[in-house]
Amino acid sequence: MCGILGEIALKGSLNSNLKKFKKALRLLSHRGPDDSNIYYNSQVTLGHTRLSIIDLNMQATQPMMSKCGNYVIVFNGEIYNFQEIKTRLHKKYHFKTNSDTEVLLYCYIEYGIKCLDMFNGMFSFAIYDNKQKITYIVRDRLGIKPLYYFQNEDALIFSSEVKSIFAYYDIEKKINLEAVYSYFSFRYPILNDTFFQNINVLAPAHFLKISQNKIEEIEYWNSSYSFKEQSTDLGEQYYISKIREILNSSVKYRMISDVPVGSFLSGGVDSSIIAAIMNDYSDCPVKTFTMGFDRDQYNEFNYAKMVADKFNMDYRELKVSSKDYFEVLNKLILYKDAPLSVPNEVPLYLMSKELKKDITVVLSGEAADELFGGYGRIFRSPYDLERLNNISDLNFTSVEKEKFKSNFVKKYGTEFFETDLDHFLSIYMYMSAHDKQNLLAKDKFPSEFEINIKNRIKQCFDELEEDCYTNKILYTFEKIHLTGLLQRVDTVTMAASVEARIPFADHRLVEFVHTIPLKYKLKWKNNSLDACVKTMMSDGISEVYDIPKYILKKAYEDKLPNEVLYRKKMGFPVPLKEWFAGDFYMYAKKLLLNPASKSKEFYNVKYIEKILNNKNQCIEPQMAMNIWMMINLELFMLNNFDN
């Protein structure tokens, strides 16, 4: 795990300022505190900061050059199956290190860019091929590792973090208002852009092929084809066996390390499964870490401890106070180069700082909800639309029809959706188009912003055009929602010089889970449902009459107690309501209504003043979250645009 920075000539030769480049590279030192080096010639400048994980020997430092001198690599991440690949290559190539970086480099030399098909891992890397005069910049299949870039006529600059691009290259910082609009819609930009104009994100499962005067962006992996296999039902036991086989392999791979490894343990299903599997492959008690707030209703310590005690794990708890939280909030925004997306990023960072005292690698349970249908309120919602569209054909009495329609309108605010995409956006958008019209200044956010983000979701739906609505949602969560989630994990852990590994984001598991029929992911508790379910909406049905992530839970019933596997999903609640009822209310009011506010121009000021002058309205859960997001955006603006 590392930080990478590079400059690539697009025409002519580079006129690199190495002193400035080194200064920009140092801004990534939290990603790689153990070493730092640079390679440069007239065509490329490549920089690397190292967090030593595999092969701690100095010979494994980067940038790494091939023995022939024609190839140079900077690499951020891990190739978990590097030993198997090395076995295939060792007769032809002499390896001087035990690192995955060297295996990656020689695998490219042997197979070209097709080597990507062989890798199981998380990565962003650049390979300069002096023989063909080509540079490849690559990002892993799911987008676990970040890669940002800027280009003009002369050069392309890429980095693990946006701040280093600005520190090295003379680019004027300009706010990207479309990203701001996306932030209030989905909590982060979804158009492969950033909060800065002209700073782009390399999409997951894509690479840039760069030669003088030409840049191609190419997708090298796509999982959409896997859903077609759901038409063949291979039976519950087959799916259970295969899930265990792949997930156990994934965890075992992600325990490969030359430094101490541990696990987050929230007490929820996903992290508990990961920790339990780790226990099978560990010779000593697994180090586990859980966090929560200093209020009982805002932590899951009892469940985390139940799992830890069952396996005799080395268990640690961290309680976060409001003082801890707000002291760190702005610091984390500086690390991220963006407003935070969700309130739990702060405690995750504090937990990462704490666990760094004992370990450097931590396994985490992200991606299970996205793959297995864990967000019951959303993944059960197609049942609402299905009943609405077919209500005349259903065995409903006239009273039941009226009750269903009344419940539907109460939930969705309408009794009609033109398409399943419109229905999905109504439940997935964090803030509706109507609410954004109230909050945001109309002259700053044209209507095409709403069209563009809607079209991004539509692209995912269109890829599964012939498939069912629920599968379209699952695919959208993999392609869009999961990317934002993985970005948050990467930011908070790397800010503390910790490497987070995500077993559920193994591409083999992603491909396989897409083949599992939906009835095994979101399973009804019994076949003769209560009559009242006919008229209920998905948020009342989920986890009461059905079991989200059923097949995953079933696969590990022999390892974990039912109290953990089958309890209601809690998420990671943060006591914003209580904080806004206290001193934080005045902090928010002072910050956001300040005449010198940097974000004030984005808003309908009269609407904001009305909200902030009504304390009771501020503590309503949705409004408290809206205010929290506005605070984040203001702090981000002050950090980056306060002249």
Q: Single out the residue of 291, 293, 332 nearest to residue 575, CA to CA.
A: 293
- pLDDT at residue 225, rounded to an integer: 95
- pLDDT at residue 298, rounded to an integer: 67
The Cα–Cα gap between 136 and 149 comes to 13
Task: Return the structure tokens found at 542.
Answer: 């989920």
- pLDDT at residue 49, rounded to an integer: 98
In the CATH hierarchy, which top-level class contains the domain 2-177+192-219? alpha beta
Residue 405 in 3-state DSSP? helix
- pLDDT at residue 643, rounded to an integer: 64
pLDDT at 619 > cutoff 90: no
Which residue bears the tokens 């009982």?
296
- Decide if 223 contacts 142 (C-beta within 8 A): no
Task: Return the structure tokens found at 269.
Answer: 């299903």
* Per-residue confidence band for 575, with pLDDT thresholds at 50, 70 and 90: confident
- Most confidently predicted of 56-70, 71-85, 573-587: 71-85
pLDDT in tens, 279-317: 999 999 999 999 888 766 667 889 999 999 999 999 999
Task: Give the residue range(s) of CATH 3.60.20.10 domains in the chain.
Answer: 2-177+192-219
- pLDDT at residue 296, rounded to an integer: 64
pLDDT in tens, 215-236: 999 999 999 999 999 999 999 9
* pTM, two decimal places: 0.96
CA atoms within 13 A on the CB side of 194: 24
- pLDDT at residue 264, rounded to an integer: 97
Range list of β-strands (E), 10-93: 35-40, 44-50, 64-65, 71-79
- Decide if 73 contacts 62 (C-beta within 8 A): yes
**DSSP string across 401-468:** HHHHHHHHHHHHS-S--SSHHHHHHHHH-SS-HHHHHHHB-TTTS-HHHHHHHHHHHHHHHHHTTTS-
Which residue bears the tokens 């891992």?
121
> What mean pLDDT do residues 360-365 have?
97
- pLDDT at residue 454, rounded to an integer: 96
2 counts as catalytic: yes
Q: Single out the residue of 452, 516, 16 nearest to residue 223, CA to CA.
A: 516
Q: Single out the residue of 357, 338, 173, 172 nearest to residue 260, CA to CA.
A: 357
- pLDDT at residue 295, rounded to an integer: 66
